[in-house]
Structure formats: C-alpha cells, structure tokens
Amino acid sequence: MQRPIERAQYTSSDLTGELALQRISASIGSIGDAYDNALVESVNGLYKTECIRTTIFHPGPFKTLSDVEYATSEWVDWYNNRRLHSHLGHIPPIECEHSHYAALNPEPQPA
C-alpha cells in the first residue's frame, strides 16, 4: 500500500531530510500556506512585465529560444546588479549586499 502524499507541491521529503542532515533551516513555510509561492509569483510577474512584454532587454520580437534566454540573462543581471530598490534606499541590491557583509567583517584599521 502506498503512503498518501501529505505535503505541499514544493515540499520534498528528500529535501527536508537533507536540510536536517546539514543542520539547515528550511526557508519554506508550513504545508498549505501561500507565502512561499507569493514571492515567486511576484518576481515572475515582474519578469513577464519588464522583460518579456517589452523590448527593453531585447531589440524586437522574440524569434528563437536563444532570444528569450539572452533577454532573460540581461534582465536578471539588471534586477540583481543595477535596479534601484526603493526599500534599500534607492541603491541596487548587490550594493546593499556588499555593504551588509562589509559591516559584518570590517577591514582592520592601522593603529
């Protein structure tokens, strides 16, 4: 007799077991909540609006899969490295990340 599946679509028992072995806390929510999927859906919506439905990241209509892949890589680079994020004080996410880690590990100063 097969055991019934009692987990959400994106919750894998293999992943859960591996995370436990590595002593890593999962970033996923409880079974059946929508919070995990909300972030993915939000970013996917931005991607479609900003990359796919415009010609900002590509010169014209998509003709090949490579056109989509190239535009996607351009959008991801912009999104992570150059996009000004209002919640971060209108600085790019990568700059915020660098500042965060620099504050955690300050350079030793000469005495």
Q: How far apart are CA 106 and CA 71, in angstroms?
A: 37
Query: Could you give the 3-state DSSP secondary structure of residue 59?
Result: coil
| DSSP code, position 86 | G
Averaged pLDDT for residues 104-110: 79
Percent of the chain exceeding pLDDT 90 equals 45
Per the CB < 8 A criterion, the answer to whether 65 and 48 are in contact is no
| Average pLDDT along the chain | 82
Please name the amino acid found at residue 50: E
pLDDT given for residue 9 in this prediction:
45
pLDDT given for residue 82 in this prediction:
93
Is pLDDT of 3 > 70? Answer: no
Closest CA to 26 of 9, 6, 11, 37: 11
Q: How confident is the model at residue 5 (pLDDT cuts 50, 70, 90)?
A: very low
Q: How far apart are CA 48 and CA 110, in angstroms?
A: 50
pLDDT in tens, 19-70: 888 888 776 666 655 666 777 888 999 999 999 999 999 988 999 999 999 9
Q: Is the pTM of this model over 0.75?
A: no
